[in-house]
Amino acid sequence: MTRLPHPARTRAEGPGPHAPSTTAAATRRLRRGVVLALVLALAPAPVFAVQPDEVLKDPAMETRARQISEGLRCLVCQNQSIDDSDAPLAKDLRVLVRERLKEGDSNTQVVDYVVARYGEFVLLRPTFGWHTLLLWLSPLLAVSLGAFGIWRLSRRKPPKAERLSEAEAAEVEALLKRR
Amino acid sequence: MIVELGHYALALALALSLVQAVMPAWAARSGDAALREVAVPAALGTFACLLFSFCALAYAHVASDFSVQNVVENSHTAKPLIYKISGVWGNHEGSMLLWVLILALFGAWVAGAKTSVPPVLRTNTLMVQASITFVFVLFIITTSNPFSRVAPAPLEGNDLNPLLQDLGLAIHPPLLYLGYVGFSITFAFAVAALIEGRLDAVWARAVRPWTLIAWSFLTLGIAMGSYWAYYELGWGGWWFWDPVENASLMPWIAGTALLHSTVVMEKRDALKVWTVLLAILTFSLSLLGTFIVRSGLLTSVHSFATDPSRGVFILAILALFIGGSLSLFAWRAPMLRQGGLFAPISREGALVMNNLFLVAACATVFVGTLYPLLLEMLTGDKISVGPPFFNWTFIPLALPLLFIVPFGQALAWKRGDATAAAQRLLAAFAGALVVGLAAAAYAWGGPVMAPIGLGVGAYLIIGSVLEIWARARGYGQSRTRDLGTTWRRAIGLPRSAWGTALAHAGVGVAVLGIAAQAWSTEGLGTIRPGGQVAAGPYIAVLDRVGPKKGENFEETAAFLTLRNRAGDVIGTVETGKRFYPSRRMTVTEAGLKTVGVSQIYASLGEVMPDGAIGLRLYHKPLVLLIWIGALIMAAGGGLSLTDRRMRVGAPVKARAKLPPAAVPAE
């Protein structure tokens, strides 16, 4: 469908573009004023995802930090990794990841640390477990189910040629004679 | 006044589509052939009404008629004309109107096309199509009326979301909808076949062009959307595995499978029941996509205009059409005559494998997209299924599929020879190996998948060339070594053969572009004028930061000079932050410099009071190939459509008048 970038990606949100049409115009105007004031108060300055001051001095460690960040979900955003997000929480998480790395944590230790604090929801690649069994096995299941269907189909005997009824045979006979 | 007429035309379209949906069924009972034919003028009438309705809404937007709610919410007097027009479908109500307009367009197209489609099949198809139109027009009138007035009318509108004020919005949704909604015709054909209980090669031949049309447009629409997101969102990603993107990808994959299974059905009379099921599933996935986007059920970066009551209505539509058609399928399919068989090593065998992997890939995307929702509903556990999951599962399914593409083309129908096919593809294998090894040697120690991907891309492209080459050379007795004869034969090959080869080569080109993204590099820095940021082989030097004025925005732009590592100037690029006062929104405008098919992508970050700026620079090698590949695929689809056997035909100018005496005796 229409690919419409969410306003959250644009740092500042305008008044709701789709106020319910039933609301009276006066209320709408009032509410628009309130929303506008809120937006002006809350609108963060336009910033980047990863900012230059966050970058670690050790390039190898920074690469690791980026790899980890790409797999962690920004919890307050719609569907973005913390590496892509401008939200303050995402920045906190990025800094946290880098701090853990500086402490000498391995990649898994960092991820475990974040998951312990924020839950599995933070992982963009879900863990393999009972609750995700069907999810992870879905490609395999789909292929084997399809392969089984094809195997069944290929074993099917060709349909026996149907015998002509007497009337049909007579008609064929007549047609052949006409030539 | 025009707005009221548009509103009235919408209501009239509702009535006409009801006539179109009901009359043929009635005619079937009463055996009245003339009544059955009412479907044709009704289809044309529905389309005319909806077209008028759409134009009326467009007029209200262009004329900035702020007494219309929809215009108030999405327009502004200072907005450039092109965005006033594209703003018509840049919102929920307008985009739904475009949706049904295209639905009716396809209905009218089938009604007016000069084809050899049997009349009963045609009217049944129109009947099914009209029932979809009816329900969606009802949805628009009851829950999302674009013509609602507002009193008193405000002096100024709220303006369109600045992210949507882009040429992308003007092109992307119409193309995407032509694809999405185009599959309604194949769906209608499938349901019509089930109603009639007849399924044969004639049906397959009738359906193929429509599948091709819808598929080609969907390919263009997805590619356009991908490019739009790439330059508009500001960090150079071309695919996010976002629910809304998946919603458009699923019908595309299913449609691709359908495209191939109809070929088998037409040529070999096999896979008939399966093809009908695929046709139903493809449009069901389109409907599901509409539901996902319109209901806001899944959190998506693209979500906008979501309203629960609308969601429930669309869910009901979904249940009606998907549930109804699948029930009909379960009831009627066993009665359909099963078709021919196939050997595993044959063209049709390869096409069956194509269907297997495509459908498995589609199922994976489906499960991945909806799993978090179901899990939360059932157990309360919240999990995320993001890009890493899809990359892990999708690529292993895509690789065997891509391997089959040229291989299947090298096999003969009925009974193929695998060894001969492999020999024919020797050059493709060799080419793939050379490209892959060269890439691996050039970028030693880099990502492993990139050289493999390049090899696969080369294999697909060379394979397509070999396919045409082998067919032009001829087989057995008629085989020729003469280049002139080969050339003449190549020219004389059916357009659909060229179309197939072109589309498959397009896949290869896209694969090259996708694979090369593993090598994209990124540079990041806070710089002042004179400072520089480097990415890959390029360096961007900041010349100055200055203001720029647009029609309805103010921009702070950074002007950069690009140099290569040797210091030669490549060109200039500018990136900025646009502030739209009407919505108080700031949007980043990425700066793009194209070098060959690679791009340098600059994105402006924070602008400090002391004149320093944050700058992000990407080098995206071969990135344009992704979309060029998609364009080639769609062109292949278009070329196939010009094949003599595939032509849908222009609308009939004047219908031949039949002598009134010819009343068939029952």
Confidence of residue A45 (pLDDT cuts 50, 70, 90): very low
Question: Looking at the complex, does the CB of residue A71 fall below 8 Å from at least one CB of chain B?
Answer: yes
Of all residues in chain B, the percent with pLDDT exceeding 90 is 57
Express each pLDDT in B307-317 by its tens digit. Answer: 667 778 888 99
Identity of the amino acid at B400: P
Residue B289: pLDDT band with limits 50, 70, 90: confident
Split at pLDDT 50, 70, 90, the class of A22 is very low
- CA atoms within 13 Å, Cβ hemisphere of B364: 28
State pLDDT tens for residues A71-84.
Answer: 999 887 777 888 87
Tokens 């892990």 belong to residue: B392
Which residues in chain A touch residue B273, judged by CB atoms under 8 angstroms apart?
A: none
pLDDT at residue B156 above 80? Answer: yes
Is the torsion defined by CA of B238, B242, B243, B244 positive or negative?
Answer: negative
What's the rounded Cα separation, in Å, for the pair B505 and A152? 33
In this prediction, residue B243 has a pLDDT band, given cuts at 50, 70 and 90, of: confident
Give the lowest-confidence range in A140-144, B91-95, B327-331, B594-598: B91-95
Quote ipTM for the complex. 0.84
What's the N-to-C CA distance of chain A in angstroms?
60
Please, which residues bridge with residue B599 across strands? B594, B620
Decide if A3 touches B, using CB distance below 8 A. yes
- Over residues B651-665, the pLDDT tens digits come to 444 444 444 443 343
* Average confidence (pLDDT) over B255-262: 95
Question: What is the distance in angstroms between the Cα of B626 and the nearest Cα belonging to chain A?
Answer: 18
User: Residue B198: its pLDDT value, please?
Assistant: 86
CA distance A80 to A97: 17
pLDDT tens-place string over residues B502-534: 999 999 999 999 999 999 998 888 999 999 999
Which one of A49, A51, A158 has the shortest CB-CB distance to B235?
A: A49
Give the list of residues 6+ apart from residue B237 with CB closer than 8 angstroms, or none.
Answer: A84, B229, B230
What is the per-residue pLDDT across B10-52, written as a single tens digit (0 to 9) for each? 999 999 999 999 988 888 788 788 888 888 999 999 999 999 9
Write down the pLDDT at residue A10.
Answer: 35
Q: Which of residues 333-352 of B touch A (CB under 8 A)?
A: 338, 340-342, 344, 352
Distance CA B241, CA B390 (A): 7
Contact present, B597 and B623 (Cβ < 8 Å): yes
Contacts of B159 (CB under 8 A, 6+ apart): A14, B74, B75, B76, B79, B552, B580, B582, B583
Starting at the earlier edge strand, list the strands of the sheet with B613-620.
B521-527, B613-620, B598-607, B591-595
Chain B neighbors of A37, CB-CB under 8 A: none
Residue B305 above 50 pLDDT?
no
- The answer to whether the CB atoms of B392 and A125 lie below 8 A apart is yes
- If we measure between CA atoms, which residue out of B290, B252, B6, B30 comes closest to residue B135? B290
Calculate how close chain B gets to A53, using CA atoms only, in Å: 9
In chain B, what percentage of residues exceed pLDDT 70?
93
**B586 contacts A10? CB cut-off 8 A:** yes
A42 vs B: CB within 8 A: no
| pLDDT score for B214 | 96
Query: Which of B588, B643, B649 shows the shortest CA–CA distance to B614?
Result: B588
**CA–CA dist B91, B471 (Å, integer):** 49
pLDDT band at B3 (very low <50, low <70, confident <90, very high): very high
Question: Is a pLDDT exceeding 90 seen at residue B468?
Answer: yes
Cα separation of B243 and B301, whole Å? 8
pLDDT digits (tens, 9 = 90+) for B317-374: 989 999 999 999 999 988 877 666 777 889 999 999 999 999 999 999 999 999 998 8
Q: How many CB atoms lie within 10 A of CB B480?
A: 13
Comparing CB atoms, the residue among B74, B163, B383 nearest residue A5 is B163
* pTM of the full structure: 0.87
Closest CA to B3 of B51, B66, B50, B53: B53
Chain-chain contact of A17 with B375 (C-beta, under 8 angstroms): no
Q: Where are the alpha helices (DSSP H) in chain A?
A: 25-42, 59-70, 88-102, 107-118, 133-155, 166-178
- Distance (Å, whole) CA B506 – CA B637: 11
DSSP line for A7-47: GGGGSS--S-TT--TTS-HHHHHHHHHHHHHHHHHHPPPP-
- Tell me which chain B residue has its CA closest to the CA of residue A141: B360
pLDDT confidence bin for A35, thresholds 50/70/90 = very low
Report the gap between the CA of B389 and the closest CA in chain A (Å). Answer: 5
pLDDT per residue over B531-546, tens digit each?
Answer: 999 998 999 999 999 9
Buried-state track B509-536, b at ≥16 Cβ within 10 A, e below 16: bbbbbbbbbbbbebbbbbbeeeebbbbb
Q: What single-letter DSSP state applies at residue B89?
A: G
Indicate which of A3, A34, A135 best probes the interface with B, i.e. most B CBs within 10 Å of its own CB.
A3
Q: Are strands B598-607 and B591-595 parallel, antiparallel or unpaired?
A: antiparallel
Q: B390 pLDDT exceeds 50?
A: yes
Q: Which residues of A are less than 8 Å from B526 in CB distance?
A: 52-53
Structural tokens at position B181: 């909604």
Sign (positive or negative) of CA dihedral A58, A59, A64, A70: positive
Q: Encode pLDDT of B176-202 as tens digits.
A: 999 999 999 999 999 999 998 888 888
Phi, psi of B615, deg, nearest 5: -135, 135
Instruction: Determine the distance in angstroms separating the CA of B458 from the nearest CA of chain A, rounded to an integer.
Output: 26
Lowest mean pLDDT among B205-209, B425-429, B441-445, B534-538: B441-445
Contacts of A39 in chain B (CB under 8 A): 584
H-helix or E-strand spanning residue B504:
helix B495-516
Asked if A10 lies within 8 A of B242 by C-beta distance, the reply is no
| Maximum CA extent, chain A | 97
Residues B214/B185, Cβ–Cβ less than 8 Å:
yes
The answer, yes or no, to whether residue B269 has pLDDT greater than 70, is: yes
Q: B594 to chain A, minimum CA–CA distance in Å?
A: 23
Interface subset of B 505-564, CB within 8 angstroms of A: 524-526
Torsion sign over Cα A7, A10, A11, A14 = negative
How do beta strands B521-527 and B613-620 pair? antiparallel
Nearest-Cα distance to chain B for A154, in Å, is: 7
Prior bond of B152 cis (ω within 30°)? yes
Residue with tokens 């966050």: A54
Tokens representing B15? 């009535």
Q: How far is CA A132 from CA A127, A135, B63, B478, in A?
A: 7, 5, 53, 57
Mean pLDDT of B398-414: 92
Interface test mutation site (partner A, options B147, B384, B554, B604, max chain A beta carbons within 10 A): B384
Chain A CB contacts of B95 below 8 Å: 1-2
